[in-house]
Each structure stands twice: as C-alpha cells, then as structure tokens.
Structure 1
Amino acid sequence: MFDLNKLIRENIKRLTPYSSARDEFSGEAKVFLDANENALGSPLLKWYNRYPDPHQVKVKEAISKVKSVPPEKIFLGNGSDECIDLLFRCFCNPGKDNTVICPPTYGMYEVSANINDVEIRKAPLLDDFQLDLVHLENLVDENTKLIWICSPNNPTANSMDREDIETILNNFDGLVVVDEAYINFSRQKSFIQELNDYPNLVVLQTFSKAWGLAGLRLGMAFASEEIIEILNRVKPPYNINQVTQELALKALEEVGQVNDMIKELVQMRIALKGVFEKIPFVLKVYPSDANFLLVKMHNARKVYEFLLSRGIVVRDRSNVKLCDDCLRITVGTEEENTELIEALMDWYVETKQVKT
C-alpha cells in the first residue's frame, strides 16, 4: 500500500525550510524594508531590485485555470530538470535507495540519479518502444523509490500504453513520475486528470516545448498536496525569477495562440514524415506524438556530419539502444524544413545511398 511517509528521507522530514523575508509577510504593503534589497532600483528596471514571489502564486493560479488543477497541486521548477533533481533529493536516500528508468529515454533521469548517488536500474523498452512490465517488476524491491516514465518518450517520440502505466501505478508503492514534456503534441490524455485516483503519481510538464519558452526555464510538477509540500520545503526560496514569472503570466493569456502553434507543428510533422519516407536512403520513420521524428537511415552518423557541414544541427541517436542508425529531427519552420530536405537530397545525389 502506498504510504508517502515511508518514502520521504528522514532528514527531509526533520528539515526546517529556509524562511525568506517574503514568507514571513503576507498581504499588501508599499514600503518593503525586510529583505535587504537595493531600494534605489537596478540598472534595468525599478521592480527588478525586489525578490520575486517565492511561491509563484499568480503563475500557479493562471496555470490552474488552464490545466484544471488546484494551485496547491502545482510545483514550479527552474526547468523540469529542477523538479527531477528535487524528487531524488526528497525521496531517495543516497547510497541506499534505487530508481528505475526505461531506456532509451530522457537522459537527465540517469544524470540526476548519479548526482544524488542513487542506484539506477534499467528496464529497456521492448522493440516496439513500449514498457517491459515483466522486466520492470523484477527490478523493483523495497528500496525502489521512483519509477520514471517519459510519455511521449524522448527520443522515440511514441506514447506509452496507458494501461501499462496504470498497472504500474496500481502495483508500485513508490512514486511513479510520468514526464509529459511533449503531451501537447499527442492525442493521448494527460495523466494530470488522474491525480485524485493515484496518490503516488507525479506528472511533469514544461513551458519549453509547446509553449515555446525554452529560454525561460520553467517546468511544472503536478501531484498531491502532500508531495508538493515536500518539494516546496526543499526548493531554493526564489527558484523562479521575476522575469520568468512575468513572461509566463503573459504567455498564459495566449492559450489560443499556443493551440494554433501546436496544430501547425503537428501538420508540419505529418508532412515531414511523408517526405522522409520517400527519401531513398531512409529506412523507417517512427510514429510520433511529439514535435520531432526519429528517423532510421543508412549511415546516420555520416548524414549527421553532412548536415552539420551545411549548418543544420539534428541529434544523432545512433549509439542509443534500439535507435541504431537513427537521427532525431525536430520539426522546424517551413523554411528550415525545406532547407533540411534539400540538404538530405543533396546527400543522396552525392552518395547514391539507397534502401536495401
């Protein structure tokens, strides 16, 4: 049976969180002399001399309206990477506990586990890029605290079978983290809707992909109030800066524009897939629920280097398990996509690579 209290590290239970000046004040005021800020302003704008809201109340309220999740169940991180790191720091005892990942998948799960001295256990995806539930189950023991599931997955671009994820949620007593960075490009429903049914569920999303705000570094974690409270206890007091909060609020007023961009990117993804499949040296274009395509081709590494010589950067995934001879290609603008296709055809003309 899931018991959050058993998962929390003992030192985190005892932790008295840092109390910032803004934590000790609530309400409205016109004179702030509590946080040792520069009262004269800054070289930029007057209001950047003040610390930002440590709880991001207005941003969470705006996200709540868009996502239909209470603000108390929302955590904001300096990118999703901060959320990932905090989950390890809060719930995994270094040198004792372990975590399960399902490669090929997002690399920061493994990096953060190594940073936090948490044993990594790997249940590789099946050949169809779906979860291997039998292998995963065999890896879990009493010290397994976190299972990471990226859906839609990076770099394979597919969504995981929903029933498989529910099976894990129903049978695992630790936290199941479903990373939905690319969910906006998928027809699959977000697991955010299931928070009330699964107390051990954490859902990660981001402003970096569909919202087009990668430069702001703003990630979201959705979970029970109890889990969110633990994350808030450990995070740095002012982890989301003032500029990010302001610009996120403006972006959240433009949901219609974001939805239009999502539709356009999905249409271009479908069109790109069709073009790739006609290129003679392309062996396979995998189905995608993301804003990128995983493309298997002859001599992928050499194609990658050729594209670099033309000033086009894609991601070489050739050495990743199950992704032999694959490039991960993000959907660009119409102009960028056209330039990419022209370069690929030039490579074909120069090398006469064909399918076998």
Structure 2
Amino acid sequence: MNGPPGSTSPLALVREDLRSFSGYSSARTSAPGVPARIWLNANESGAPSSCDPEGTSRRYPDPQPAALVEAFADHWATTPDRVVVGRGSDELIELLVRTLCRPGGDGVVVCSPTFGMYAVSAHLHGVPVTDVPQTDDELTWRVDTEAVREAAVAAGARIVFLASPGNPTGAVVPLHEVAALTEALADQAVVVLDEAYGEYAFQLSAVTLLEEHPTLVVLRTLSKAHALAGARLGIALAHPDLTRVLRAVQAPYPVPVPVSELGLHALGEEALAATRSRVGETLRLRDTVSRLLRDLDGVRAVYASDANFVLVRCDDPDALLHTLGSAGIVVRDMRHLPGLHDALRITVGTADEMSALDTALRENPA
C-alpha cells in the first residue's frame, strides 16, 4: 500500500467484513430508475396526515437527499460522492467507528481535553481508546501530532480523532501537521478532523487536503455557525470508497424531509450571507468577552479561541457558577475533563446575552 500521497484508498482500512457490504435495501433504493407514477412498495399511508395536509412527509425520504448532498458538495467545492449526510456529527462519528474498527479490537486515538463523543462511540463498540493529552501554556493549547503518530502506531489504532478548532480548547491544529500525520498513518489509520467550529477560525478548512490525502475525513455541521443545532444535520467529507461504505452502514432514512428542507435553505446564498454576518458579530463579541473575563479577580487564564466560546481557568469555579446562575446564566462546567479541574466554558451568545453576562460579573463579582 505504499506510494505517493493520494495513492492509498481508505477501503483497505475498512473492516474486512464490511468492504463489500451493501446495507439495507430500502424502499427508496430498491427500484432505482423506475418511471414511477404510483408508489405501492413501502407500506406508507395512502393519504396525508391532517397535520401535514400537503403530504410532504407522507413518503419515506431519500436516504441521502440528492439536492442536499449536491448543495453541500457545491458549498465545499467537491463532488457529491464525497459527501455523507447524517444526524449531526455525532452519528457520523459513530458510523466511522462502526465501519473502521472491529468490536473488541483495533482502536482510536483522542487528544484530551476534547469532545467526549469520540471516546463514547468507541466504548459503545468495545473499541479501546488511547489518549494523547494536549499541552497548554494558559494562552493556547497544542496537539502534539508526532506523539499522536507514535501512540497510534503503538496501539494499532484505526482512527485518530482531532478537533480543529477544538472543544473545549478553541485551538486549531495547523493544516501542515494534519497533512503530515495523515500521510504518516495512511497505511494504518484514518485521520478524522472535526471542524464543527470551522466557520469561526481563520485557518482554511482541511477539505483542501482531501484530494491528496484519501485517508483523511473532515466533519462539518450546521449546528454551530449556521444556527441549526435542533435540526441535527452534519456531514462527513471523505474519499468516495469510504463514503460508499458509510452510506451502506448507516441506518435507513437518516435525514427527515423537513430537516433536508432546512438544510437546503441554510446553504442558499441569502442564508449563507446572514451566517457570515452572524459569525463576524460573534468574533467581535468573543474579543470583548475575553477582555472582560481577563480583568476579573480570580480568573487566571482566558485561552485564545478560534471558536464561538472561551475557556476560562479560575481560582473558585463554584463561586463564578453561583454568580452567573443567580442571574439566570448557565455556562458549562468543564471540571470533569482531564486537566481542567478549575475550568469553565462560556459560549459567546448575542449582544444582549453578553451584556447580561457583563452586568452579572460587574455587579456580583465572584
């Protein structure tokens, strides 16, 4: 499997029993190309529901809605065969573990502190987890990609999960390090780069690396910058050999019709312009909130962030939680994560919400 960059198909890294797996043959995939006039193959209701008089949700949806897949592909300047749409990034993380790792074998590498679903999905499939903790200097966080490579080789890992920007760190992994790690592990593991907060970062997306690095997977979502967390829409961008298997492994009908319609609207020109404007406002507010927090007594560190939140270390997290809670403001206690025994994560909300945060901290300092 050795060769120049771009020569390694990820199919060799898929579980051997799934490489030719065709998956469940649903009603929407069992009769392709038929010029249908009357659909009697899926046991759907013949008449619409009173709560859906137009019948838009009467039929089972396309497992991968073509218009939505094409819209995502256009947005990321790639081809539809590189796109898998799922129920948020969570489903795609679970699909990758299920597709690439044998239960009770193989393994994944994570870099704590990080998004908990990587390890949760691995544990649910009996897949061992190797942690390569990040380092910080109370200004920013860093993933040691060389240590990650060594750990992945030693553990025989099949997936490396990286988040960029990271949650809860807010730090990016430089693209040249992602590329070097992916190339170094191409014969052994898939590198999954989770860019859930990518719209807030100044670094280019790793989607730009996909053509030269077939064993790289990039995750994106509409939950954050696009303000559709309740819709649960995420995508994996990957080599077509891998997306084919992921689609086969995925449960039928992952994208409900109303969700697909929301996604299409979100990827329209007008909505994307509004998203860019909203992101710009969030970045401005993030800088303001960071300065406010740095001036507070008892706050020891406010980390640089390329996301829509800031991570804070403080002398008395309980006091700060109480102060904000008394004003009806809920932030995320991160003390359950390795290395964050004194940390809270604060999301950057609207201007009014940040004004309320400012008021609560100034009038009732912890």
> Which TM class, normalised by the smaller chain length?
over 0.9
| Residue 222 of structure 2 is aligned to residue 222 of structure 1 | no
Deviates most, 293-302 or 167-176: 293-302
Shift of residue 15 of structure 1? 2.8
Map 1:48-87 → 2, pairs under 5 A: 48-87=57-96
Shift of residue 134 of structure 1? 4.0
Aligned-partner residue type, residue 264 of structure 2 = L
- Contact 2:163 2:194 survives alignment (8 Å): yes
Q: Which runs of 5+ in 1 are unaligned?
A: 352-356
Match of 1:294 among 264, 287, 311: 311
- Once the two structures are superposed, residues 248-304 of structure 1 have per-residue CA deviations (whole angstroms, 9 ceiling, x without a partner) of 111211211111111111111111112222223322211110000111222013311
Separation of aligned partners in 2, 1:163 and 1:130: 14
Separation of aligned partners in 1, 2:346 and 2:90: 22
Deviates most, 208-217 or 168-177: 168-177
Map 1:257-268 → 2, pairs under 5 A: 257-268=274-285
- Once the two structures are superposed, residues 182-235 of structure 1 have per-residue CA deviations (whole angstroms, 9 ceiling, x without a partner) of 000000000001110101000001000010000000111000111100101100
- Contact 1:21 1:34 survives alignment (8 Å): yes
TM-score (norm 1): 0.94
User: Corresponding residue for 2:111?
Assistant: 102
Separation of aligned partners in 1, 2:152 and 2:235: 27
User: Corresponding residue for 1:89?
Assistant: 98
User: Corresponding residue for 1:248?
Assistant: 263
Map 1:156-171 → 2, pairs under 5 A: 156-171=169-184
- Contact 1:301 1:316 survives alignment (8 Å): no
Shift of residue 143 of structure 1? 2.8
- Contact 1:301 1:318 survives alignment (8 Å): no
Equivalent position SS for 1:199: coil
Map 1:106-125 → 2, pairs under 5 A: 106-125=115-134
Separation of aligned partners in 2, 1:211 and 1:201: 24
| Residue 296 of structure 2 is aligned to residue 279 of structure 1 | yes
User: Corresponding residue for 1:145?
Assistant: 158
Match of 2:322 among 269, 291, 305: 305
- Contact 1:303 1:347 survives alignment (8 Å): no
Separation of aligned partners in 1, 2:75 and 2:132: 34
Separation of aligned partners in 2, 1:53 and 1:136: 39
Shift of residue 8 of structure 1? 1.5
Shift of residue 324 of structure 1? 3.5
Aligned-partner residue type, residue 232 of structure 2 = R
| Residue 356 of structure 2 is aligned to residue 339 of structure 1 | yes
User: Corresponding residue for 2:16?
Assistant: 10
Equivalent position SS for 1:296: strand
Aligned-partner residue type, residue 257 of structure 1 = A
Deviates most, 303-312 or 110-119: 303-312
RMSD of the alignment, in Å? Answer: 1.6
- Contact 1:130 1:161 survives alignment (8 Å): no
- Once the two structures are superposed, residues 80-106 of structure 1 have per-residue CA deviations (whole angstroms, 9 ceiling, x without a partner) of 000000001011001111110000000
**Aligned in 2, Cα 1:211/1:194: closer, same or farther, shift over 3 Å?**
same
- Once the two structures are superposed, residues 100-137 of structure 1 have per-residue CA deviations (whole angstroms, 9 ceiling, x without a partner) of 00000000001000001100001001224211234323
Aligned-partner residue type, residue 206 of structure 1 = T
Shift of residue 14 of structure 1? 4.8
Separation of aligned partners in 2, 1:140 and 1:333: 41
User: Corresponding residue for 2:144?
Assistant: 132
| Residue 44 of structure 2 is aligned to residue 21 of structure 1 | no
Q: Which runs of 5+ in 2 are unaligned?
A: 3-7
Q: How many residues align?
A: 349
Separation of aligned partners in 2, 1:121 and 1:7: 18
Separation of aligned partners in 2, 1:193 and 1:145: 23
Aligned-partner residue type, residue 50 of structure 2 = P
TM-score (norm 2): 0.91
